[in-house]
Amino acid sequence: MTAATVLPGPRLRRHTERMSHSMTAPSTPIPRSAWSLRKMLILPSAALVVAVAAVIGWLSYTAGRDAVDAVAKRLLLETRGRIGQAVERHVVGSRAVLEAAFPDGMPMPDAIEGELAALRRRFWIATSLHTDPNDYVYYGSRSGQFFGLKRLSEREAEVRLKTAPTLQRRITRFAGIDGDERFLSDETRLYEPRERPWYKAGQTADAHTWTSVYIDFRTNELVSTRARKVLSPQGQVQGVVATDVSLRALDDVVGAIIISAHGFAFILEPD
């Protein structure tokens, strides 16, 4: 029979405590070198993802910006072209009106009384070419006489006649190129053609010329006038023939051009 070894009390307790401490001791901590390696692997990948996302975002922004700029430039060019066409139609039409009213080189006598029938016929034809906007053509002489024809419609026109410097203009109307004139009224204010901007500009210009914008005598609208001098049989300046372009008509044309919800078009004089 084998005898059991019995440890003394205090030694047994210390031995038990050592065994218990060894069983409950924490695991060995991860070295710092392992965390550093993990950071070295993760951080570059994250930085790469951020960089790629930034590059894609920038490319998308620049592509969108360039597309918007391209559309805006194309729209601007189209708008400018449409305005140019409208203005060109007015410019070309006004020249044709003056040439039909007074062909280049056609002389004019001192007095207009003997030319009234011919003037009315030529001016009717002239205002038939480009009724919108060149519906008014007129002539002023160096002696202060005046003859003008204003188209009111396709069939009706108004004549404004002044045969002496001290007289007011007489307004008559007629229908058809050979229709009889009926008296409408005499203007209350004295109209002096030689003092008007169109006459002063036309008599000194060598060819067709445009006036600056000014206020029309009868309508009080802003207009610009194309004018050209008319010579006498002796080659001297006998008078000036002119036609108006209403700025309201141009404004209506330009205002009808749709650019954007907050955009608008306009025309400027060079000066």
Q: How close are the terminal C-alpha atoms of the chain, in Å?
A: 134
Q: Which residue has the higher pLDDT, 41 or 102?
A: 102
- Model confidence at 63, pLDDT cuts 50, 70, 90, reads confident
Q: Is the confidence at residue 12, as pLDDT, over 80?
A: no
Q: How confident is the model at residue 268 (pLDDT cuts 50, 70, 90)?
A: low
| pLDDT for position 249 | 66
Q: What mean pLDDT comes out for the span 60-83?
A: 72
Higher pLDDT, 130 or 38: 130
Whether pLDDT at 2 is above 50: no
Q: Is pLDDT larger for residue 30 or for residue 128?
A: 128
- Whole-number pLDDT of residue 270: 64
Question: pLDDT tens digit string along 190-226?
Answer: 999 999 999 999 999 999 999 988 999 998 888 889 9
Is-above-0.75 flag for pTM? Answer: no
For residue range 118-172, what is the model confidence (pLDDT) as tens digits?
Answer: 999 999 999 998 877 789 999 999 999 999 999 999 999 999 999 999 999 999 9
Instruction: Inform me whether the pLDDT recorded for 189 exceeds 80.
Output: yes
Cα–Cα distance for residue pair 134/95, rounded to 1 Å: 10
Q: Are 209 and 232 in contact (CB under 8 A)?
A: no
